Each structure stands twice: as C-alpha cells, then as structure tokens.
Structure 1
Amino acid sequence: MSKSVFSKKYHRFRQLLIQARKVAKLTQSELSEKLSRPQSYVSKYERGERRLDLIEFLEVAEVLEVEPATFIKQLLEDKEED
C-alpha cells in the first residue's frame, strides 16, 4: 500500500478533481472562496503538494456538486484499466 501523493491512483484522483472543477466552470479562486479557504489550498491539492482527507474531499465534492460515490467509482474503474 503506497502512502505517496505521487502514486498513479492519487494522480488520477487529482486529475478527476481538476476536471470536476472545470466542469463546474470554477477557477481555483472561485472554488476556494466557496470553500472558505485560501486559493493556495486548492492549488496545493491540485498539484499534489497536499493530500485531501476524506472530510475535505466531501466538502470539495459538495461545492463541485459531484456525487462522492460516483467519483470514487470512476476512480476505481480507471484503476482497473491501468
């Protein structure tokens, strides 16, 4: 079990978060404002400089109007294709 933020799975997780933000037509600044966090918070997790814990992920998913279970299912399906 990898703990690295640089694993393929975590890289794909970050890609899916970026994609969801863009689908929501939000900039990092707009998303961070909705999360009541600094813009650097979004920038750092999108670049892999910090990891999101489960509660943080759920907060981001709510703002992006992404169903967490669907998001995770997509992440797991992508893994199977590797």
Structure 2
Amino acid sequence: MPPSLRSRRHRRLAELIARYRDAAGLKQSDVAKQLGRHQPFVSGIESGQRRVDLVELLDLAEVIGFDPHELLKELRKTPRE
C-alpha cells in the first residue's frame, strides 16, 4: 500500500518546509510568487494535502534558502510507519 499523505514522514516533511519558510521570514505568497505558482500550492504542501516531488523540493529549497540535504537528514530521523 502506498504511503498516505498523512504518514508520519509526510507530516514531518510538511512541518519542516513550513518551519524553514517561517525562519526565512517569508510568507506562503512570497514563496509561491517566486515559484511562479499561487499561494494554495504552498499551503497544500505545508498542510500535507499535496505531495511534493523531488524537483519541487529542490525549487522550494532554493527559494526559501534551506539545504535539502539537511532537510533529508532531519526527515530520516522520523520513523517509518
């Protein structure tokens, strides 16, 4: 069975992205604009309602200014379900 959007790791990923964005002093709308998207795109990722693919994650890291390797290290600390 594929992992749910509500799996522990998906929830943690959404939380980390939101935390990094907040720490950068950016609003969801700021990030969305730089990505050429609308604010609900970022909101959906941060709320766990939308999966983020690898390319989107790299784009988010570039816009927000976080190291994707660090995010993945943090995410690996979260046990699989």
Pairwise same-fold verdict (TM > 0.5): yes
CA deviation vs aligned residue, 1:5-60 (integer Å, no higher than 9, x gap)? 00011101100000000001001111111111111100111111210001111100
Counterpart-to-counterpart distance in 1, 2:48 and 2:74: 19
Please give the residue correspondences for 1:48-67 in structure 2 after superposition, counting only pairs within 5 Å. 48-67=48-67
What CA distance in whole angstroms lies between the structure 2 residues aligned with 1:3 and 1:74? 19
Unaligned stretches of 5+ residues in structure 2: none
Secondary structure in 2 matching 1:50:
coil
Partner of 2:38: 38
Identical amino acids, percent of aligned pairs: 37
Matched residue, 1:12: 12
Task: Please name the residue that 2:29 is paired with.
Answer: 29
Quote the Cα distance in structure 2 between the aligned partners of 1:48 and 1:17.
10
Aligned-partner Cα distance in 2 for 1:75–1:49 = 18
The count of residues paired between Structure 1 and Structure 2 equals: 79
- Partner SS for 1:49: coil
Match status 1:71 vs 2:75: no
**CA RMSD after TM alignment:** 1.3
**Greater than 4 Å deviation, 4+ residue runs:** none
Q: Distance in 2 between matches of 1:44 and 1:55?
A: 16
With the length of structure 1 as denominator, give the TM-score of the two structures: 0.89
- Secondary structure of the residue aligned to 2:49 is coil
Rounded to whole Å, the distance in 1 between the matches of 2:11 and 2:2 is: 12
Scaled by the length of structure 2, what TM-score is found?
Answer: 0.90
